[in-house]
Structure 1
Amino acid sequence: MEKLEFKFNNKENIKKFAHVGVVASGDLEILVYPNEMESRVKIVTGSDGFKEIWMNVLTRFFERYSLQGTFIIHDFGATPGVVNLRLTQLMEVLKDEQ
């Protein structure tokens, strides 16, 4: 099991808690909390050695969406495609809350 943490400089504050996904074989969940100080991403993953891939996926996401909050990701072996799917679902949930 590996624990990763990333920080991003973003501007658009998340207003409410949001949750997408489930922790299960080949899947992941994302929990997002408001944080007006910085964007932090904390990942707990069962797949070691993928820090660079996580950084690439998250950098692309945050370049597109300048969200500011605390993101907690519980990963159970999700592929980058599933990570992108969950991040897209997160955007839909956040839009619905506004």
Structure 2
Amino acid sequence: METLTFRFEHGQRRLKAAPELVGVVSSGNLEVLIENAPLNGACAIEVKTAARGFGTIWEAVMTDFQQRWQLADTRISINDMGATPAVVSLRLDQAVEAMVEEGA
């Protein structure tokens, strides 16, 4: 397993809901947990993946995700067993859509 961490500063949107779990490792090869966290406006992402050596691709997917959502005070934990970048983006978007504050 490889662990990758990303941190994005100065987010604009905050979560409104309790932690959200989306996807299941045994179905779709991906699990995502998104929760509120006091991070001084940042979004922290930790990825645990079985696919070693894909850090650059993960960074691109996470950067694209944060540019779309601009999350603040958010912690995201991802357990990956080889999901494609498209599946990762879809699962992240599914989790966040129900959780961001309206008008934020």
Same fold (TM over 0.5): yes
**After the TM superposition, which residues 47-58 of structure 1 pair with which residues of structure 2 at under 5 Å, given as runs?**
47-58=51-62
Aligned-pair identity in percent equals 40
SS in 2 for 1:12: coil
RMSD: 1.8
Partner amino acid for 1:35?
A
What is the CA–CA distance in structure 2 between the aligned matches of 1:87 and 1:32, rounded to whole Å? 9
SS at match of 1:55: helix
Superposition map of 1:23-38 within 5 A: 23-24=25-26, 26-37=28-39, 38=42
CA distance in 1, matches of 2:15, 2:27: 29
Work out whether residues 26 and 79 of structure 1, in 8 Å CA contact, stay in contact via their aligned partners in 2: no
Gaps of 5+ in 1: none
Shift of 1:22: 0.5
User: Can you list the C-alpha shifts for 1:4-34, whole angstroms capped at 9, x where unaligned?
Assistant: 1000011222233111001126520110110
Runs of 4+, deviation exceeding 6 Å: none
Unaligned runs of 5+ in 2: none
